[in-house]
Amino acid sequence: MEFKNLSLTQDGRVGIIAINRPKALNALNTKVLLELDAVLDELEKNPEVYVIVLTGEGKAFVAGADIEEMKDMTPDEARKFAELGSRVFKKLEIINKPVIAAVNGYALGGGCELAMACDIIIAGEQAKFGQPETGLGITPGFGGTQRLPRIVGTKRAKEIIFTGEIIGAEEAYRIGLVNKVVPPNTSFQAAIEMAKKIASKGQIAVRNAKAAINRGIETDIDGGVAIENQLFALCFANTDQKEGMTAFIEKRKADFKN
């Protein structure tokens, strides 16, 4: 498929999605969300891509859902828009390969929600995060009230959402919203480096670990451990496990095929 509002490129085993509407600070309108939906389907099926990096062109990661498009929506249209965004973000969250968000600038509203749906967030020092929706007279609509408290705890999430305060990368790191803060304009490079490191591991193991964490976190500890036990056992049904362990015993680097 040809994309107009984002680009899809590849660096080795890393698929790179760059949202490309810099004039509107990459704001998410219906067209962008539908392209994101399609590009995720494409990447999910592509066996050559092991890890995905998601970023935004220009000075913003994503400055939110498109206010221009939302301004005159009826409640029914708003619900459909929120359901579309939420469905696409869920697809991103559970896609069968890790996704790293490289955030160099604004990740606000739907942009913060998009980053939170990724597995890992790497932020440049000048990155800014927040859920400013209450200032627009709305609540977050692409999962912010659900993912933010799960990531940073309810007290901090409520403060951020109620006040609409914008926080810097260091504060986002301090509260556990981002994994790593890197010098300005290096978040993309840092994300690629991390993606390549992940791509060098056994991919079935990486995917099973992602599934175990995502599914386990939504259940109790015993249910989560049962999911882990099952996925651990499944690792022994493919050649990566034999290769990884044989390489260790033979004191050489593993050469994974999956």
136 binding ligand CAA? (CB under 6 A) = yes
End-to-end CA distance of the chain: 26
Residue located via tokens 């020092």: 125
Binding range to ligand CAA, per CB under 6 A, among 10-18, 20-28, 116-124, 187-195: 20-28
Give CA–CA dist 27/175, Å, rounded: 25
Residue 255: phi, psi to the nearest 5?
A: -115, 90
The rounded Cα 232 to chain-centroid distance in angstroms is 24
- Strand spans (E) along 44-105: 51-56, 60-62, 99-103
Binding range to ligand CAA, per CB under 6 A, among 40-48, 96-104, 109-117, 249-257: 109-117
CB-based burial, 215-228: b 16+ in 10 Å, e otherwise: ebeeeeeeebeebb
CB-CB contact of 179 with 122 (8 Å): yes
Active-site residue, from 133, 165, 170, 193: 133
124 binding ligand CAA? (CB under 6 A) = no
142 binding ligand CAA? (CB under 6 A) = yes
Determine the residue type at 117.
A
Looking at 8, 19, 65, 205, which residue binds ligand CAA (CB under 6 A)? 65
Least separation in angstroms between residue 161's CB and ligand CAA is 10
Please give the helix or strand (H or E) that residue 24 lies within, else none. none
Looking at 35, 119, 133, 240, which residue binds ligand CAA (CB under 6 A)? 133
Which of 100, 92, 3, 115 has the alpha carbon at shortest distance from 40?
92
132 binding ligand CAA? (CB under 6 A) = yes
Q: Which is nearer to ligand CAA, 63 or 212 (CB)?
A: 63
119 binding ligand CAA? (CB under 6 A) = no
Active site residue 133: yes
- Strand spans (E) along the chain: 6-11, 14-19, 51-56, 60-62, 99-103, 106-108, 120-124, 128-130, 166-168, 180-182
161 binding ligand CAA? (CB under 6 A) = no
63 binding ligand CAA? (CB under 6 A) = yes
56 binding ligand CAA? (CB under 6 A) = no
25 binding ligand CAA? (CB under 6 A) = yes
Looking at 8, 18, 54, 113, which residue binds ligand CAA (CB under 6 A)? 113
Active site residue 113: yes
Query: Which residues contact residue 120 at a Cβ distance below 8 angstroms, ignoring those fewer than 6 apart?
Result: 98, 99, 100, 101, 179, 194
Binding range to ligand CAA, per CB under 6 A, among 34-42, 104-112, 230-238, 248-256: 104-112
Looking at 15, 98, 109, 202, which residue binds ligand CAA (CB under 6 A)? 109
Catalytic residues: 113, 133
Which residues in this chain contact ligand CAA in the complex, by CB under 6 A?
A: 24-25, 27, 63-68, 85, 106, 108-110, 113, 132-133, 136, 140-142, 144
